[in-house]
């Protein structure tokens, strides 16, 4: 027996999903007994298994929101205009690493990283250049920013004012999800307690000043990218959501005052049926949590609204054209699962930031699904499939068991501090990698069907001169601004951080007076300190 046939035989011995849910040869009604009123209901009705809107995509398509940002604000602005001209319906901003962890482009800690994995934003002037000629009352903007989310949103509000756009007219999302940074991504700044304060400050501020803004995007995407299973993605994401809701209630907010503006961010991976079921299970479970656990009365508080991005960790540098197929299937799973917003990865992202051509193909993938396949013409078209309903029920019950275990530890924050969530993710990632190396999990073009090929030559490369230019812009800003006013505001900010007042209005004032991102974050570091993870070997 050849190696390939042995691997095929091993696979035939046991068919399971990423979450170790058995896939039977056939499923019957006994595997998925359906109470249509209680389990499924109608689309747009509790428990929202079938979708949060009664008409879903028959009313309007999901937001096609390509994640983009690199180098300077001017170059990223050109990419945004290109995407909008090609039919994108929302913007999604990627920030460089220094911005994500609160350093200005001229900080020694930023050396060599300026503009490399996203756009460099150090001041309100950078933010203004980023959205030059883009009316902020006409677009929805998502910003993947966490630890300094309050400050970047303050800059966005300040730029909108300069455009003559009042804050209540702004629509969009800041990710603002710090808990997953501690377990999966690492772009944290402050310890958990002050970080949670910044999050609830933003909740309260947006309720009154920016009511259409989604104040948090509770992210399972990065947890999944770190190697967890589909069940773990649902469980750990919703456990973090529970922690944020409880923190806001503890801060004095009524659940129905902020819960309608909560949003979620999930991954779409390769196991098609499991991914469709995952989205349906997450919706139903969150509806139960919000209504039964937190006593929310507003139906909008029960709804899990989410953005999806196709799986970055599934992309391969080998045979990058294969990624077009992966992304198309993952995107289709997200649409069949009822996503409200979608980003499709570009085929060359395992090699570099995407080129314009690759981005266009990725966007066209969404448009083909929307306009040519017919899957958007009916709501929840896979409902009633015995296999899909069985997987939905299994994912929900297994995620519930995880959440109960996390509750027993004292909640998500305590489970993170104890290393429980980190260890579960690491164990799942290790098991997957072992399966790949043994050939039990086939990666086309990598451990099967590989060919020798030269890497693509037309990859996007960031000019090293950009860093020097960004430093010069900051030097010019510091030379022309009112530095006495900046010093006064730093003192006010330090005093406010030591107190308990909502910091958001002061952040807006600070950035409007040319205080930089790094200066705000360094002032807060002096009060809050910095997070240092426990490291074990």
Tens digits of residue pLDDT in 168-198:
999 999 999 999 999 999 999 999 999 999 9
Domain that holds residue 147: 3-438
pLDDT band for 3, please (50, 70, 90 cuts): very low
3-state secondary structure of 66: strand
The percent helix, strand, coil of the chain (3-state, each to 5) is 55, 10, 35
Q: Tell me, what's the pLDDT at 203?
A: 96
pLDDT band for 402, please (50, 70, 90 cuts): very high
Q: Which residue has the higher pLDDT, 459 or 144?
A: 144
Six token digits for residue 6: 């042995």
**In the chain, what percentage of residues exceed pLDDT 90?**
88
State the average pLDDT for the chain: 94
Q: Look up the CATH number of the domain holding residue 386.
A: 3.20.20.240
Instruction: For residue 447, tell me if it sits in a domain.
Output: no
Q: Which residue has the higher pLDDT, 37 or 529?
A: 529
**Number of domains making up the chain:** 1
Question: For 226-252, how does the pLDDT look when each residue is reduced to its tens digit (9 = 90+)?
Answer: 999 999 999 999 999 999 999 999 999
Instruction: For residue 342, tell me if it sits in a domain.
Output: yes
Is residue 9 over pLDDT 60?
A: no
Mean pLDDT, residues 527-533: 94
Q: Tell me, what's the pLDDT at 7?
A: 46
Q: Tell me, what's the pLDDT at 101?
A: 98
Question: For 259-281, how does the pLDDT look when each residue is reduced to its tens digit (9 = 90+)?
Answer: 999 999 999 999 999 999 999 99
Mean pLDDT, residues 185-213: 96
Instruction: For residue 379, tell me if it sits in a domain.
Output: yes
Separation of alpha carbons 64 and 78, rounded Å: 18
**In the chain, what percentage of residues exceed pLDDT 70?**
96
The upper half-sphere exposure of residue 478, i.e. CA atoms within 13 Å in the direction of its Cβ, equals: 14
- pTM to 2 decimal places: 0.93
Is residue 39 over pLDDT 80?
A: no
Q: Tell me, what's the pLDDT at 35?
A: 66
Q: Tell me, what's the pLDDT at 535?
A: 67
CA dihedral sign of residues 324, 325, 330, 331: positive
Instruction: For residue 524, tell me if it sits in a domain.
Output: no
Is residue 213 over pLDDT 60?
A: yes
Strands lying side by side in the sheet with 140-144: 213-214, 171-174, 140-144, 90-94, 63-68, 341-343, 306-310, 262-268, 216-219
Separation of alpha carbons 83 and 146, rounded Å: 24
Q: Tell me, what's the pLDDT at 90?
A: 87
Separation of alpha carbons 94 and 97, rounded Å: 9
* DSSP assignment string, 107-151: SGGGTTTTTSSSB---SHHHHHHHTTT--TTTSEEEEE--TTHHH
The upper half-sphere exposure of residue 283, i.e. CA atoms within 13 Å in the direction of its Cβ, equals: 33
Instruction: For residue 121, tell me if it sits in a domain.
Output: yes
Question: For 320-352, how does the pLDDT look when each residue is reduced to its tens digit (9 = 90+)?
Answer: 999 999 999 999 999 999 999 999 999 999 998
pLDDT band for 5, please (50, 70, 90 cuts): very low
Nearest Cα residue to 270 out of 316, 218, 305: 316
Instruction: For residue 449, tell me if it sits in a domain.
Output: no
Instruction: For residue 222, tell me if it sits in a domain.
Output: yes
Instruction: For residue 492, tell me if it sits in a domain.
Output: no
pLDDT band for 533, please (50, 70, 90 cuts): confident
Question: For 467-524, how does the pLDDT look when each residue is reduced to its tens digit (9 = 90+)?
Answer: 999 999 999 999 999 999 999 999 999 999 999 999 999 999 999 999 999 999 999 9
């Amino acid at each position: 027996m050849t190696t390939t046939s042995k691997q095929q035989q091993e696979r035939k011995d046991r068919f399971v999903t990423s979450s170790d849910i058995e896939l039977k040869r056939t499923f019957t009604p006994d595997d998925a007994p359906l109470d249509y009123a209680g389990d499924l209901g109608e689309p747009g009705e509790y428990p929202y298994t079938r979708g949060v809107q009664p008409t879903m995509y028959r009313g309007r398509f999901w937001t096609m929101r390509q994640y983009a940002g690199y180098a300077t604000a001017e170059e990223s602005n050109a990419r945004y205009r290109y995407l909008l001209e090609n039919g994108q319906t929302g913007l999604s901003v990627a920030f460089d690493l220094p911005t994500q962890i609160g350093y200005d482009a001229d900080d020694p800690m930023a050396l060599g990283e300026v503009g490399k994995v996203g756009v460099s934003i150090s001041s309100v002037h950078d933010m203004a250049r980023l959205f030059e000629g883009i009316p902020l009352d006409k677009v929805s903007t998502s910003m993947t920013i966490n630890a300094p989310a309050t400050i970047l949103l303050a800059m966005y509000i300040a730029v909108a004012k300069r455009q003559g756009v009042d804050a209540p007219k702004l629509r969009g999302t800041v990710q603002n999800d710090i808990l997953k940074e501690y377990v999966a991504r690492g772009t944290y700044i402050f310890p958990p307690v002050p970080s949670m304060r910044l999050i609830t400050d933003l909740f309260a501020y947006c309720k009154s000043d920016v009511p259409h803004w989604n104040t948090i995007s509770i992210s399972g995407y990065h947890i999944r990218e770190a190697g967890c299973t589909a069940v773990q993605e649902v469980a750990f994401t919703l456990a973090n959501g529970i922690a944020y809701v409880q923190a806001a209630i503890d801060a004095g907010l009524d659940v129905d005052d902020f819960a309608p503006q909560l949003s979620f961010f999930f991954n779409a991976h390769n196991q098609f049926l499991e991914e469709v079921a995952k989205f349906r299970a997450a919706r139903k479970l969150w509806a139960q949590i919000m209504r039964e656990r937190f006593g929310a009365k507003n139906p909008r508080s029960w709804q899990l609204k989410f953005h999806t991005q196709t799986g970055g960790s599934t992309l391969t540098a080998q045979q990058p054209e294969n990624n077009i197929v992966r992304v198309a299937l993952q995107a289709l799973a997200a649409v069949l699962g009822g996503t409200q917003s979608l980003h499709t990865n570009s085929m060359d992202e395992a090699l570099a930031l995407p080129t314009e051509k690759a981005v266009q193909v990725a966007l066209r993938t969404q448009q083909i699904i929307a306009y040519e396949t017919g899957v958007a013409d009916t709501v929840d078209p896979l409902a009633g499939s015995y296999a899909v309903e069985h997987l939905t029920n299994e994912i929900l019950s297994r995620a519930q068991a995880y959440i109960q275990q996390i509750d027993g530890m004292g909640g998500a924050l305590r489970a993170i501090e104890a290393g429980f969530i980190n260890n579960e993710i690491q164990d799942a990632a290790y098991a997957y990698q072992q399966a790949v190396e043994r050939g039990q999990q086939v990666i086309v073009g990598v451990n099967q069907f590989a060919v020798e090929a030269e890497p693509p030559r037309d990859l996007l490369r960031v000019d090293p001169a950009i860093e020097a230019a960004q430093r010069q812009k900051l030097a010019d800003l510091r030379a022309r601004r009112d530095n006495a006013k900046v010093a006064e505001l730093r003192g006010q900010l330090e005093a406010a951080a030591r107190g308990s007042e909502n910091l958001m209005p002061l952040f807006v004032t600070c950035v409007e007076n040319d205080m930089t991102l790094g200066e705000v974050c360094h002032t807060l570091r002096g009060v809050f300190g910095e997070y240092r993870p426990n490291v074990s070997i």
